[in-house]
Structures are given as C-alpha cells and as structure tokens.
Amino acid sequence: MPRTCVFFHAHRGDEALLTAGTMARLAAEGHRVVLVLAATGREPSCLDPRPRAPVRADVPDAPAGMLGCARVVVLGYEDSGPDGEALGGFSRTNVDLAAGVLAGVLREEDADLLTVYDPGGGYGHPDHVHVHRVGVRAAELAGTPVVLEATLDRDFLRRALRFLGPFLRSWAAPRTAYSSRADITHRVRVGAYSSMKRAAMAAHSGHRAGGDPACASAALPRLPRLLFRQVMGTEWFVRRDLPPGTVLDHPLAMWPDTAPPPEQGRRPARHPTTEPRISVKK
C-alpha cells in the first residue's frame, strides 16, 4: 500500500546527510515523499517569530528532485545559528504555533509517516532540537500514526571518524551526539541509492554555511565511490513506540494497528511526480 512520508528537516541540505537514501528508496518503491524545511538560512531581520516568505532561490528544488520528492514545503523561519543567538530564529518560536503550521501540511498530505531528529537534535544545533519538539507535537495534532527520529549510530560514527580522519579533520562529534545503538530501531540499507545521496550532498555542499556537519557534508561526496557507499549506505532511525531491542530494516515495517483505515476518510496516497512542487507556508 503506498504511503505518504513527510521528512521534516531544519535547514537546506540537512536531508542529504541523514535521510536522502531513505527518501530515494521510498520514492522508488512508489510512496509519496514530501520534504519540509523549517528555516531558510537567511540572516535574522527582526524579532517577529512568525514564518515569512523566503527567497525563491533558497528552495532546494534540484536536489529534492534527485531524491524523488513530490513536493517541497518551506516554512519560512530563520536559521537560529549554531548557538541559537538569532532573535528571530526557528529555535525561539513557540512550539505549539510552529507545530500548528507543520500539522497543516501533515493534514494536507494525509501523512502516514513523519521524520524528525532525536531529542538532542543529533549534534545539538538549536534548530535541530526544535525540529524534534515541533515535529512530535505536530504529529500529535495531525494524528500522524508513525514518527521516526532520524539519527546516526553513535558507535558507528566514532569508528567512521577515526577511519576517515584524513577526510574529516574538522569534525569531531561530541561523545553524546546522536543515538546509542541500543536505542536505534531501524537500520535502513540504502546502498543502492548511494549515488543519488552523493549527488544531493554534492549539490548542497557549495551552499552550506560553516559548522562541523556542514564541513562533513562537503567532504563526504569527495570520498571514493565504493568507500562512500560503505560509509553512507545505512541510515538510522528511532521509533519510540516499539519495544526495546527492535531491529527493523525498512521505515514502514511493523505498521501500528491503530493507524486509521482508508474508509475513515483518508485520501489514497499519491505517487511522486518527476519534478517537485514547491510551496511556501506563510
């Protein structure tokens, strides 16, 4: 049964690092994939925390198209900066207000699945932490049945960083970054889509601001293809409603019995188009 899967990310290009392979895999399997971006990446201009229209050039239509996205939605908030210092940034917005905007998108799409980040926002960026808070609340408001937390296997990351030291000299992940292996419920193999993921990361690398993960996103596409596939061929997620020790290999596995059936008014999922449709929520 085709599903509608909404991937909620903080900034332009964040999807390429953590979920691009899963997005491409789901689109190839016939599911509808929608990308929602919280922040535009512009400098703060005022103290008003409400969404405002971004510059059209900020919309990552080409990389999203590479991954098979049917639609891109930009909520229009501002990047809070790595320390959350931007007074008009996304991380300072009221959770319920921002969640109401995202819930509107989830209802429009009759979303079956929403991805957010883990509670620590992966490596701790304030906007990423807020994506978790806002996304979880939006799923509650919209009745979205499954929420996955996109993350990295912390143990794998540490080993990879030791191995890739010559390539990623500038990125030293904190000891508490991302998720422990015991918490991860989904290990999704995306090696078959690594070329799409690599292309999406490369397309974004010239537009990312400074910061450790941004440096990694720029360096990783330059790895030899086989090494890139080995390092980036798995994507990890946490689903909190599953029992400890669950290990699944597909984001739509073990679908909850409480999900509303089609006869309760949910529209059938739509297949992705070849070109993403872009909208801005104001």
% of the chain residues with pLDDT over 70: 74
In the structure, what pLDDT confidence band is assigned to residue 211 with cuts at 50, 70 and 90? Answer: very low
For position 210, what pLDDT does the model report?
A: 40
HSE, side-chain direction, 13 A CA sphere, residue 198: 19
Q: What is the mean pLDDT of residues 93-117?
A: 96
Asked whether 255 and 146 are in contact (CB, 8 A), the reply is yes
What does pTM read for this prediction?
A: 0.82
pLDDT digits (tens, 9 = 90+) for 240-260: 999 989 999 999 999 997 555
Beta-carbon neighbour count of residue 155 at 10 Å? 14
For position 276, what pLDDT does the model report?
A: 45
Q: In what order do the strands lie in the sheet with 71-77?
A: 186-189, 234-238, 146-151, 113-117, 4-9, 32-39, 71-77, 277-280
CA-to-CA separations, 37 to 5, 10, 17, 30, 76, in angstroms, rounded = 14, 6, 14, 22, 8
How many Å apart are CA 239 and CA 114, to the nearest integer? 11
pLDDT digits (tens, 9 = 90+) for 12-23: 889 998 999 999
Q: Which two tokens stand for residue 105?
A: 């998108």
More confident of the two residues 60 and 186 = 186
